[in-house]
Amino acid sequence: MNPRGGRASGPFLLLLLALMQCAGRQRVVKRSVPDVCATCHIHATCHQIDGKSVCICNYGFVGNGRTHCQDKDECQIGASKICGNHTVCHNTHGSFYCVCLDGYRASNNNKTFIPNDGTNCTDIDECEESGLCGHNARCVNTEGSYKCYCNDGYKLENGEHSFLPDQNTVSCKEIGCGSPPEMKHGYTVGNYSLIPGSVVHYECEEGFYSNEAKLSYCTANETWEPAILSCKGVDCGVPPSVLNAHPVSVSGTTYRSEVTYNCAHGYFIASGHQIAVCNARGQWDGADLVCKEIDCGKPLLIPHTEMIWDNSTTLWSRVYYQCKEGYYFNGGKNFSECTIYQLWENITYTCNEEEFFSNLSIFNETCVKWQRKTGRRGVQITYTFHILGQRWDGKTFLEHATFNITTSEDNPKVCLDLHSGSNYVVNITTISSTKTTVSVAVAVQAKVKEAFSNVLIFNDTCLKWQRNWGTEVEDRYVFHVQGRRWYQKEFFHEITFNLTTHKRAPEVCFDLQPGTNYSVNISLVALNFSLPVSMTTEITDPLFPDIEFVAVKGYAPLLRLRKAEDRNGPISLYQVIVLPLGLQGTFICDSFAAATFFSNSTGGKGYVAAEFRAKDVADNMSIALGDRHYYGKFYNAPLKLGEEYCVFLRIISEWNKVRTQSCAVWAQIKHVSPTLQYMPAVGVGSVAAVCLVLFLSFSAARHCTPGMMWATRRKRQKDSARET
Ligand SMILES: *[C@@H]1O[C@H](CO)[C@@H](O)[C@H](O)[C@H]1NC(C)=O
Ligand SMILES: *[C@@H]1O[C@H](CO)[C@@H](O)[C@H](O)[C@H]1NC(C)=O
Ligand SMILES: *[C@@H]1O[C@H](CO)[C@@H](O)[C@H](O)[C@H]1NC(C)=O
Ligand SMILES: *[C@@H]1O[C@H](CO)[C@@H](O)[C@H](O)[C@H]1NC(C)=O
Ligand SMILES: *[C@@H]1O[C@H](CO)[C@@H](O)[C@H](O)[C@H]1NC(C)=O
Ligand SMILES: *[C@@H]1O[C@H](CO)[C@@H](O)[C@H](O)[C@H]1NC(C)=O
Ligand SMILES: *[C@@H]1O[C@H](CO)[C@@H](O)[C@H](O)[C@H]1NC(C)=O
Ligand SMILES: *[C@@H]1O[C@H](CO)[C@@H](O)[C@H](O)[C@H]1NC(C)=O
Ligand SMILES: *[C@@H]1O[C@H](CO)[C@@H](O)[C@H](O)[C@H]1NC(C)=O
Ligand SMILES: *[C@@H]1O[C@H](CO)[C@@H](O)[C@H](O)[C@H]1NC(C)=O
Ligand SMILES: *[C@@H]1O[C@H](CO)[C@@H](O)[C@H](O)[C@H]1NC(C)=O
Ligand SMILES: CC(=O)N[C@H]1CO[C@H](CO)[C@@H](O)[C@@H]1O
């Protein structure tokens, strides 16, 4: 199509140009509107139609205006059809032109033409003398004369096309515009020729644009119109704002300028790019930075600490740490901050457990001591003591106590009032959050003194003592009694028995033999504890002497002495006592006054005639009364004539400051004759036996009756009991 021809296309083109300028201006202003115009194909122009932006392919192009604007090939129709007979059709970018075949020329004498003005190719009537016209010209015979015509595309200097052949100096020069104007920041596109009518197409360099038509025509007067073309650099304008970010550097607003964004304080780059670039279409590309607020989340947990925290998790939020109760600070930083890395600062904060107990030990049996190793010295700590005491037999609870002790001592010592013979569990607990408890076993050794206090021997054969525990506690004792006599090697007396009692002061009496050393072993079964007690029984009266009663007249009998048994104690002495018969009723066995024959005070009352130590007595020993010998310190004085006597045998047992004796009537002597004779007392044994029987029946009577015997005992005072 010819842009200048036709009735409809001319005004339409002008309108289009106006619209294009308008749209171009608008594009600068209303950048933010979704830019349809920006999407127009490079060979399309944006038009406002009914208030809408529409892309329409430029003249000479067909397509949808956005993705597709293709050159329309007019020549396709066929050269003869569009250009006429004898032509060649040339398509150009957006247009076409026609050239006449050799031997033809265009009716307008131009080398090229566009056929819609009626130009056609007509046969050239060339003459042979064309050489006359020089180069680029031909000779035409017109009405009989020759005339030279410059070939199509050529003309004379003066602009004429024809000349006479003789004008030698005249020659045809090529017709055309010079090189097309340069477009600032633009470049030519496609082929173009310099002949008038040709058009040069331009494009702007990247980053430049032009709202004008980007073409220049070679006009008939061989100038390019328009002669000055330029592209303007794009301007992306103020960089777009990015949420929670700000631009930190802007290199400009022109093509390829960059703007660098940083997230605002407290925000971090979640996605996108920090740099946006101004693109060729005047838009900022890549302003897609997404900044999110820093959130460190929950702070780190540090062992044995508690946090002081206002729950904020944003940048530079702080959380403080402090040691839990029962722990003490042992170095480190006591707070952590939320950092730009969205992490809480990793700090070291050390809390050590307070040691309220170390080296707990028992001393002095009932005292405990320990050491405090805590960091908080001088702080008062309350310790609760739980004490549970148990007897060693494990059966009985004695005590259950709880009390508090508050101290700031570093080495506390506590002495406990504990019973002996018991096991205690002492739990010491600190009153703090940690509630540290230590348990210590305290065993209090029972002492004999405490297990059996105030042990008393009474009534010779009885023991009493005091128990340390209340009557609710029953104890079992085992007694093992062993008796021995120094004077009787073969003697052995043993008793074993149990006693179970809950009395506070138990008493026990033993069935003991007299004159014996006893060792009594009392065991307290529960405590496996034994108490040895020595007991000595007093001697009792010796057994009655085994003698034969002798009754004689006129002479002194020969008395036979038998050894007495050490049944009730060791026999020490045997005494032969002579008493005037008339005084026999006054005889007291345990009277030791007037012992000797020579003693003056008791003159007529009798005397000891002989005394034998037990070891000197042989069995069946004969004693001659009145033989004038000394026996021991006693004088066996001769009996007085005519007198009557009663003779006693006294057996004395003496041990341990106790003296006992038994006496028996041994002989009766009547009318002692001048000639003293010794007669064996034979045949009166039976009388003596009768006498013994009588004595046993009537021991209260103390007459020198044949065979009469008695015994008395004089005790040493033993009010003060022996204590073991
Ligand atoms: C072209 O040539 C043909 C015959 O060769 C003729 O019929 C026709 O009229 C011519 N067209 C024009 C426009 O001269
Ligand atoms: C061709 O010739 C016509 C006259 O016939 C003239 O108007 C025109 O400018 C010439 N050139 C072109 C390129 O059409
Ligand atoms: C922190 O949050 C917890 C639970 O959401 C709340 O009980 C506590 O009071 C908060 N502490 C502060 C200091 O706001
Ligand atoms: C942290 O330690 C400092 C001294 O280092 C102290 O002044 C401050 O009270 C401590 N803060 C807390 C919460 O313990
Ligand atoms: C903190 O630091 C310690 C040592 O410096 C390291 O062992 C530990 O893994 C760190 N904790 C975190 C959460 O980074
Ligand atoms: C515990 O006692 C031992 C010996 O008595 C002593 O060597 C040690 O230092 C004590 N420990 C402490 C922590 O005092
Ligand atoms: C044990 O107690 C006695 C007195 O009862 C005292 O003299 C002694 O010093 C104590 N021992 C200790 C280790 O305290
Ligand atoms: C002492 O502590 C132990 C365990 O620690 C417990 O079994 C016992 O019952 C406690 N005894 C007392 C008297 O508190
Ligand atoms: C010991 O102290 C604790 C805490 O103060 C208290 O609850 C308890 O009753 C006290 N115990 C005694 C026996 O005083
Ligand atoms: C011990 O002797 C006293 C008198 O001294 C007497 O009253 C008491 O009954 C005797 N006890 C026994 C157990 O023989
Ligand atoms: C007995 O003899 C003593 C001297 O041995 C003498 O002192 C005393 O007076 C005498 N007594 C009588 C009653 O003759
Ligand atoms: C065949 C034809 O149309 N010839 C025309 C070519 O152009 C000249 C000049 O315009 C006309 O005179 C011819 O009639």
Report pLDDT digits (tens) over 677-721.
444 443 333 333 333 333 332 333 334 444 455 544 333 333 333
Question: Residue 514: its pLDDT value, please?
Answer: 93
Among 395, 449, 445, 389, smallest CA distance to 420 is for 445
Q: Averaged over 503-522, what is the pLDDT?
A: 93
pLDDT at residue 620, as a whole number: 86
More confident residue, 306 or 529: 306
- The pTM assigned to this predicted structure is 0.43
Cis, peptide link before residue 226, omega less than 30° from 0: yes
Find the ligand nearest to 719 CA.
10
pLDDT at 81 over 80: no
Ligand 8 contacts CB of residue 437 (under 6 A): yes
Please give the residue that has the higher pLDDT: either 590 or 449.
Answer: 590
* More confident site: 18 or 641: 641
Percent of the chain surpassing pLDDT 90: 29
- Give the closest residue (by CA) to ligand 9 atom 2: 404
Query: What number of residues does the chain have?
Result: 724
Q: Three-state SS across 178-223?
A: CCCCCEECEEEECCCCCCCCCEEEEEECCCEECCCCCEEEECCCCC
* 608-631 pLDDT per residue, tens: 999 999 999 988 889 998 889 999
Q: Whose CA is nearest to atom 7 of ligand 7?
A: 364
333 CA to centre of ligand 4 in angstroms: 9
Stretch 302-321: mean pLDDT, rounded? 94
Long-range own/partner contacts, residues 314-320 (CB < 8 A, 24 or more apart): 314/266, 314/338, 315/265, 315/266, 315/339, 315/340, 316/266, 319/344
CB of 85 sitting under 6 A from ligand 1: yes
Ligand number nearest CA of 298 is: 3
Counting atoms of ligand 9 from 1, which one is nearest the CA of 384? 1
Kindly give the number of the ligand 10 atom that is closest to the alpha carbon of 507.
13
pLDDT of residue 143: 58
CA of 298 to the centre of ligand 10 (A): 89
Residue nearest to atom 6 of ligand 12 (CA): 120
Say if ligand 2 is within 6 A of residue 197 CB: yes
Q: Quick check: 38 pLDDT over 80? A: yes
- Residues lining ligand 9, Cβ inside 6 A: 382, 384, 402-404, 431
Q: Are 42 and 53 in contact (CB under 8 A)?
A: no
Q: Which of 109, 120, 121, 123 to mutate to test the pocket of ligand 12 (most atoms within 8 A of CB)?
A: 120
pLDDT at 256: 92
Closest-lying ligand to the alpha carbon of 456?
10
In sequence order, the β-bridge partners of residue 695 are: none
| pLDDT above 90 (res 508) | yes
pLDDT of 80 higher than 70: no
Ligand 12 pocket by C-beta < 6 Å: which residues?
Answer: 107, 118, 120, 122
Strand partners, 44: 57
Q: Considering every ligand atom, which ligand is closest to the CA of 87?
A: 1
What integer best gives the mean pLDDT of the chain? 80
pLDDT digits (tens, 9 = 90+) for 210-253: 988 888 998 888 889 998 889 999 999 999 999 999 999 999 99
Q: Report angle CA 360, 366, 371 to the nearest 5 degrees.
A: 20
Distance 220 CA to ligand 2 centre (A): 7
Ligand nearest to the backbone CA of 431 = 9
Label residue 723 by pLDDT band (50, 70, 90): very low
Residue among 81, 82, 83, 85 to mutate when testing ligand 1 (max atoms within 8 A of CB): 85
User: Residue 458 CA: which ligand 10 atom is closest?
Assistant: 1
DSSP letter string, 26-91? HHHH--SS--SGGGS-TTEEEEEETTEEEEEEPTTEES-SSS--EE--GGGG-HHHHT-TTEEEEE
Ligand 2 centroid vs 166 CA: distance in angstroms? 26
Nearest to 176 by CA among 209, 150, 206, 148: 150
> Could you tell me the distance, in angstroms and rounded to a whole number, from the CA of residue 724 to the centre of ligand 1?
172
Residue 392, CA distances (Å) to 452, 471, 473, 497, 616 in order: 16, 17, 12, 23, 58
88 vs 506: which has the higher pLDDT: 506
Which of these ranges, 34-43, 178-187, 268-277, has the smallest mean pLDDT?
Answer: 34-43
Question: How far, in Å, CA of 194 to CA of 172, rounded?
Answer: 16
Query: Which ligand is in closest contact with the Cα of 598?
Result: 11
* Residue 18 banded pLDDT, cuts 50, 70, 90: very low
* Residue to probe by mutation, ligand 3, list 306, 311, 320, most atoms within 8 Å of CB: 311
Q: Is 322's C-beta closer than 6 angstroms to any atom of ligand 4?
A: yes
Using the mean position of ligand 7's atoms as its centre, give its distance from the Cα of residue 528 in Å: 27
pLDDT score recorded for residue 23: 39
Mean per-residue pLDDT, 90-107: 80
Ligand 1 centroid – CA 123 distance (Å): 12
Distance 411 CA to ligand 6 centre (A): 11
pLDDT digits (tens, 9 = 90+) for 379-429: 788 889 999 887 766 666 667 889 999 988 888 999 988 877 778 888 888
CA distance 83 to 103: 16
Residue nearest (by alpha carbon) to ligand 2 atom 3? 108
Atom of ligand 5 nearest to the CA of 346: 1
Closest ligand to C-alpha of residue 599 is 11
- The tens digit of pLDDT for each residue in 661-671 reads 999 999 999 87
Going from the Cα of 111 to the center of ligand 2, the distance in angstroms, rounded, reads 9
Distance between Cα 591 and ligand 11 center (Å): 19
In this prediction, residue 484 carries a pLDDT of 95
Write the burial class of residue 660 (CB in 10 Å: 0-12 exposed, 13-18 middle, 19+ buried): buried
Specify the residue with its C-alpha closest to ligand 7, atom 2: 364
Inform me whether the pLDDT recorded for 141 exceeds 80: no
Q: For the chain, how far is it from start to end, CA to CA, in angstroms? A: 154
Which one has a higher pLDDT value, 692 or 531?
531
Centre of ligand 2 from the C-alpha of residue 151, in Å: 13
For 161-175, 207-221, 594-608, 654-668, which range has the lowest pLDDT when averaged over its residues? 594-608
- Nearest residue to 231 via CA among 210, 253, 207, 200: 210
358 lines ligand 6 (CB under 6 A): yes
The pair phi, psi for residue 24, each rounded to 5°, is -60, -45
How large is the average pLDDT for residues 637-656?
88
Q: Among the atoms of ligand 7, which is closest to the Cα of residue 363?
A: 13
Q: Which residue has the tokens 């085992």?
A: 478
Ligand 12 atom showing the smallest separation from residue 85 Cα? 1
User: Would you say the CB of residue 600 lies under 6 angstroms from ligand 11?
Assistant: yes
State what percent of residues in the chain have pLDDT above 70: 81
pLDDT category at 500 given cuts 50, 70, 90 is very high
pLDDT of 512 over the 90 cut: yes
